[in-house]
Structure formats: structure tokens, C-alpha cells
């Protein structure tokens, strides 16, 4: 699934985004309310992790703005405030769940799973979907399953995350740097071949036995999921 983490504390942002990526999700991050709002409005997300105390635009104002636009993307609010009134305020503003800091990642992951499961049948007003279908490939984002034609394909978490990333932008080349940022932390050496290795593994599983090769290399640019082959 594709997640958005809006959190101004660098350590917490890195902690949450790293854990979500390790679970196989694609993650975008923002450090201010303004930046988070711009990302949220420009992209489709399966869930948002939202801090309340943000610079420029606080989390409650941001959440109310999106709910007023009929955006029903599941939202987990994070806050250092533990008072009952603060929890009620967050939930009444449209949050699906509320966690206080500090927290464990395992609980956060479980709560995200719960809110996305609860809302999977709700209309997302074009903002989210539980499946991706491009060419003859269908990805179930909730069950974490992949089928090409009649063949079920078993993928590891990062292979699944890469396929989701590529399928969300069919026919658009993605650079190695972008893939590194979305699938791993930002600390990797851009010259590493870790992206090439992951693409090779995914390609071997997805394209094996099929005449048309969906994942193609664009030399000097990156990789692309060809939807018009």
C-alpha cells in the first residue's frame, strides 16, 4: 500500500517510514502541514499517519480540510497530547484512530491495518483503491497478492512494494534515485546496484513464461512498467 507520513520530528518520521517500508509499503513523507497537504491532494494514498503539532498548518486543520473535500482516506493521528479532550477532538475532526507518543511500531502497524481493513468497502472519491490492474497484472493491496493472467506470483515485501510503485505510474520511467527513496531509506549510496538487483528479482518472477516483458530498462533513466506492450 502507499502511505503518507506527515511528521515534523525527524527521528519519529524516520522510525515510522522505515518500519512501513520494511513491511513492504511505499511511503511518502512530509515535515510541515503545507507540504503534507500538497502531497495528499496530489496523490492517492491508502492511509495517512498524521502528527497534530505541525509547522505552518496543524494536523487538525489539515484533516478537516481534506474531510471537507469528501476525502475518506484512512488517517491515524499521532500526538504527544494524551488528554481525553484531545483524543475526542482528533476523532471528531475525522481521524480513524488516535495514538499518543511514545508508541511501538508494532502497535502502529496493527492499527493502520485495522483502519484500512475497516474502510476498504467505503467509497474513496477516486483517492484510493484496494486493487491495481494494469495489462494482465492484478495486485490486491490488502491481501498482498499478485496475479498475472491465471498465474499467482509470490513476492517478497520489497518486490511487492516495487511492483506497486511501478504500476501506479505505468509508462512513466522511474529513476533509481526515486526507487531508493520510496522503497528504502535515503541513506543508500546512489551508485549501489541494490535497485538493479531488486528489479531483476521482480522481473524474473513477473515476466517468466510470458512473451511480453512488462518491466523494461531505460538506459540512463531508470525502469518503466510498459502498459502498452
Q: Are residues 95 and 175 in the same domain?
A: no
Look at the chain and report how many structural domains it folds into: 2
Q: Is the pLDDT of residue 165 over 80?
A: yes
Q: Are residues 170 and 97 in the same domain?
A: no
Q: Are residues 93 and 146 in the same domain?
A: no
CATH of the domain at 196: 1.10.10.10
Cell readout for 131 is: 486493487
CATH of the domain at 75: 3.40.50.2300
- Name the residue among 159, 124, 140 with its Cα closest to residue 40: 124
Q: Is residue 123 part of a domain?
A: no
Q: Are residues 166 and 114 in the same domain?
A: no
Q: Are residues 31 and 110 in the same domain?
A: yes
Q: Is residue 147 part of a domain?
A: yes
199-228 average pLDDT score: 87
Q: Is residue 126 part of a domain?
A: no
Per-residue model confidence as pLDDT tens digits over 107-148: 888 888 888 876 654 434 444 457 888 888 999 887 788 999
Tell me if 98 sits within 8 A of 77, measured CB to CB.
Answer: yes
Q: Is residue 155 part of a domain?
A: yes
Give the residue from 62, 92, 118 where a domain finishes: 118
Q: Are residues 92 and 148 in the same domain?
A: no
Q: Give me the domain span that covers residue 57.
A: 2-118
Q: Are residues 6 and 113 in the same domain?
A: yes
Give the residue from 90, 118, 146 where a domain finishes: 118
Q: Are residues 174 and 111 in the same domain?
A: no
Q: pTM higher than 0.75 for the full model?
A: no
Per-residue model confidence as pLDDT tens digits over 78-100: 887 655 565 666 677 788 888 88
Q: Is residue 169 part of a domain?
A: yes
- The string of DSSP codes covering 57-89 is S-HHHHHHHHHHTT----EEEEES---HHHHHH
Q: Is residue 124 part of a domain?
A: no
Q: Are residues 79 and 136 in the same domain?
A: no
pLDDT score of 87: 63
Per-residue model confidence as pLDDT tens digits over 60-74: 899 899 888 888 888
Q: Are residues 6 and 105 in the same domain?
A: yes
- What gap in Å lies between CA 146 and CA 185, rounded to an integer? 25
Q: Are residues 88 and 149 in the same domain?
A: no
Q: Are residues 82 and 167 in the same domain?
A: no
198-222 average pLDDT score: 88
Give the residue from 63, 90, 118 where a domain finishes: 118
Per-residue pLDDT band at 17 (split at 50, 70, 90): very high
Amino acid at each position: 500500500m502507499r502511505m503518507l507520513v506527515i511528521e515534523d520530528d525527524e527521528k519519529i518520521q524516520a522510525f515510522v517510514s522505515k518500519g512501513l517500508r520494511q513491511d513492504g509499503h511505499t511511503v511518502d513523507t512530509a515535515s510541515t502541514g503545507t507540504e503534507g497537504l500538497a502531497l495528499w491532494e496530489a496523490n492517492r494514498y491508502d492511509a495517512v499517519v498524521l502528527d497534530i503539532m505541525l509547522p505552518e498548518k496543524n494536523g487538525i486543520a489539515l484533516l478537516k480540510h481534506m474531510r471537507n473535500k469528501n476525502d475518506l482516506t484512512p488517517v491515524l493521528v499521532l500526538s504527544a497530547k494524551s488528554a481525553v479532550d484531545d483524543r475526542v477532538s482528533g476523532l471528531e475532526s475525522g481521524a480513524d484512530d488516535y495514538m499518543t507518543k511514545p508508541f511501538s511500531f508494532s502497535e502502529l502497524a496493527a492499527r493502520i491495518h485495522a483502519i484500512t481493513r475497516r474502510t476498504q468497502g467505503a467509497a474513496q472519491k477516486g483517492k484510493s483503491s484496494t486493487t491495481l490492474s494494469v495489462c494482465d497484472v492484478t495486485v490486491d493491496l490488502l491481501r498482498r497478492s499478485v496475479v498475472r493472467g491465471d498465474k499467482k506470483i509470490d513476492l517478497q515485501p520489497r518486490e511487492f512494494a516495487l511492483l506497486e510503485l511501478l504500476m501506479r505510474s505505468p509508462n512513466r520511467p522511474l529513476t533509481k534515485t526515486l526507487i531508493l527513496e520510496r522503497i528504502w531509506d535515503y541513506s543508500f549510496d546512489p551508485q549501489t546496484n541494490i535497485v538493479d538487483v531488486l528489479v531483476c528479482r521482480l522481473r524474473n518472477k513477473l515476466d517468466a513464461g510470458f512473451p511480453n516483458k512488462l518491466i523494461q530498462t531505460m538506459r540512463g533513466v531508470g525502469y518503466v512498467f510498459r502498459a502498452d506492450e
